[in-house]
């Protein structure tokens, strides 16, 4: 069976494993104070053109989200997110469990806009309600769309006007930064948001995310907060080594581009055959709308998930490609559709 179920089914890119093996018998300092973590940071500083940012390596995405949100909000404050946002639908109430409400706003194509953020602000008027203090975005979004520079700048602007912390979840930053429509670079993101993370788990690392805190006021004592949430790993060098391998050259971006290219091939064939999609495509997740009959046949040969029931006879399915997706799997899927 060929699997298009997610982008974290495979282990790590060989270059990541090579560096882990090469450094295996080294005796490294603990808790991220090793030379590999420092090197990884140096590479990332160059990409974001900001060596004043604080960089931390965190094992997982949900952990990063709850760490950031719970650390930067005061007890009465909440975070605004798209209704489809990962923190709203796929984190088992992790944010709410830290005492902060997620204000989930209905959105088109998984994207917040200044108007939507304003609507959330207008609705929260006084101390009888939670106070919006943060905006959570993800790039790519949960439905595979991306933010343009103009869109992110507009969101930056409304956040600044209203004293909101802007947090961007980049679990799929590799795919976002390398898709054709993208006009953002990491340095733009570092300028426009207060805090963001660059995902490794879904782009060639065994696991791990790089958290970048750009806003000065948010930096204080963050290592204490990481430790208190159980996310400061004694063997932090295992994360540092992986990101050193991913960022010492262009590998991180090459892997994202590969995942996108594989998804584009599938999307291209589906478009040619007249299928429609739940959301515009371009990154490594695509959501074609298929008949129940096609889905049943497809399930015999491929692994994928159902995203949304559209009506009694149709559902949008989700195909995800990764840094490791092989051209032969893509060909098999395309051949299936050509034969339907």
Ligand X SMILES: Cc1ncc(COP(=O)(O)O)c(C=O)c1O
According to the binding rule CB under 6 A, does residue 321 interact with ligand X?
no
Q: Quick one: the chain helix, strand, coil %, rounded to 5?
A: 40, 20, 40
**Nearer residue to ligand X within complex by CB, 208 or 288:** 208
Burial class, 274, CB count within 10 angstroms (exposed 0-12 / middle 13-18 / buried 19+): exposed
**Nearer residue to ligand X within complex by CB, 169 or 194:** 169
| Among the listed residues 240, 278, 292, the one whose alpha carbon sits nearest the alpha carbon of residue 39 | 240
3-state secondary structure of 277: strand
According to the binding rule CB under 6 A, does residue 86 interact with ligand X?
yes
Residue from the set 169, 194, 244, 264 that interacts with ligand X by CB under 6 A: 169
| Among the listed residues 49, 14, 44, 56, the one whose alpha carbon sits nearest the alpha carbon of residue 222 | 56
| Among the listed residues 72, 18, 15, the one whose alpha carbon sits nearest the alpha carbon of residue 196 | 72
**Nearer residue to ligand X within complex by CB, 85 or 240:** 85
**Measured distance CA(277)–CA(279) in Å, rounded:** 5
**Measured distance CA(63)–CA(166) in Å, rounded:** 18
**Nearer residue to ligand X within complex by CB, 24 or 92:** 92
CB of 274 to ligand X, least distance (A): 29
According to the binding rule CB under 6 A, does residue 111 interact with ligand X?
no
Segment near ligand X (CB under 6 A), from 24-32, 58-66, 284-292, 323-331? 58-66
According to the binding rule CB under 6 A, does residue 244 interact with ligand X?
no
Residues 120-149 that bind ligand X (CB under 6 A): 138
According to the binding rule CB under 6 A, does residue 171 interact with ligand X?
yes
According to the binding rule CB under 6 A, does residue 61 interact with ligand X?
yes
Sites of contact with ligand X (CB under 6 A): 60-62, 65, 86, 138, 169, 171, 201
């Amino acid at each position: 069976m060929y699997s298009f179920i997610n982008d974290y089914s495979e282990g790590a890119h060989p270059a990541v494993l090579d560096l882990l093996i090469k450094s295996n018998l080294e005796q490294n300092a603990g808790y991220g104070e090793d030379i590999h973590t420092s090197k990884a940071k140096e590479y990332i500083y160059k990409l974001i053109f900001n060596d004043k940012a604080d960089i931390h390596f965190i094992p997982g995405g949900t952990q990063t989200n709850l760490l950031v949100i719970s650390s930067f909000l005061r007890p009465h404050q909440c975070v605004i997110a798209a209704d489809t946002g990962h923190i709203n639908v796929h984190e088992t109430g992790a944010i709410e469990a830290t005492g902060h409400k997620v204000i989930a706003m209905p959105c088109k194509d998984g994207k917040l806009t200044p108007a939507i953020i304003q609507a959330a602000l207008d609705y929260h008027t006084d101390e009888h309600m939670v106070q919006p203090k943060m905006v959570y975005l993800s790039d790519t979004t949960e439905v595979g769309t991306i933010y343009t520079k103009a869109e992110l700048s507009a969101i930056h602007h409304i956040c600044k006007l209203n004293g909101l912390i802007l947090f961007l979840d980049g679990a799929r930053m590799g795919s976002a930064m390398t898709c054709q429509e993208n006009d953002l670079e990491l340095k733009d993101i570092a300028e426009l948001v207060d805090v963001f993370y660059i995902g490794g788990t879904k782009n060639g690392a065994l696991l791990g995310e790089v958290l970048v805190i750009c806003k000065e006021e948010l930096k204080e004592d963050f290592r204490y907060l990481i430790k208190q949430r159980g996310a400061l790993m004694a063997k932090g060098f295992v994360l540092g080594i992986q990101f050193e391998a991913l960022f010492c050259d262009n590998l991180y971006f090459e892997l994202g581009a590969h995942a996108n290219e594989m998804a584009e091939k599938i999307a291209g064939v589906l478009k040619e055959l007249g299928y429609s999609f739940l959301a515009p495509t371009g990154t490594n997740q695509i959501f074609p709308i298929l008949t129940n009959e096609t889905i049943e046949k497809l399930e015999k040969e491929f692994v994928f998930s159902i995203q949304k029931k559209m009506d009694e006879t149709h559902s949008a399915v989700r195909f995800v490609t990764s840094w490791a997706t092989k051209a032969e799997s893509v060909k098999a899927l395309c051949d299936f559709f050509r034969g339907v």
